Structure 1
Amino acid sequence: MPSLAQMTGSLHIHNFYIGKLKTNQERLFETDPELAMLLDNMAAVLSEHAMALAEDIADMEGDDT
């Protein structure tokens, strides 16, 4: 099982790439709507993973107290 630090790092990486995907999705919306939609879908999948990671981190932090 990954450590709390590894999970927190993974969450930060997820959030970084979600932001990148959203920025590019907005930029491409007018010129390439299909690609923009694909990027939006990828951001949604990463967001789901980020939420699950955040819940796992909260559980691990709760166990430490």
Structure 2
Amino acid sequence: MPSLSQLNGSLHIHQFYIDKLEANRELLFSSDPELAQLLDNVAAILSEHAVALAEDIAEMEYEDG
């Protein structure tokens, strides 16, 4: 099982890429809607992973506290 710091790092990386995907999706929306939709789908998957990571982090912090 990863450590709390590893999970926090992974969550930070997920959020960084989610933000990047959403920013690029906005830029591409008018010029390439299919690519914008693909970026949106990838961001949604990463967001699901981020939620699971946040839940794991909260559980670990609760157990430690």
TM-score using structure 2 length:
0.99
Unaligned runs of 5+ in 1: none
Tell me by how many angstroms 1:59 deviates.
0.1
RMSD over aligned Cα atoms: 0.2
Residue of structure 1 equivalent to 2:32: 32
1:1-65 to 2 correspondences below 5 Å: 1-65=1-65
Unaligned runs of 5+ in 2: none
TM-score using structure 1 length:
0.99
Q: Report how many aligned residue pairs link the two structures.
A: 65
State the AA in 1 paired with 2:22. K
Give per-residue Cα distances to partners, 1:9-35, cap 9 Å, x unaligned.
000000000000000000000000000
- The separation in 1 between residues aligned to 2:15 and 2:62, in whole angstroms, is 22
State the AA in 2 paired with 1:32. D
State the AA in 2 paired with 1:24. N
- What fraction of aligned residue pairs are identical, expressed as a percent? 71
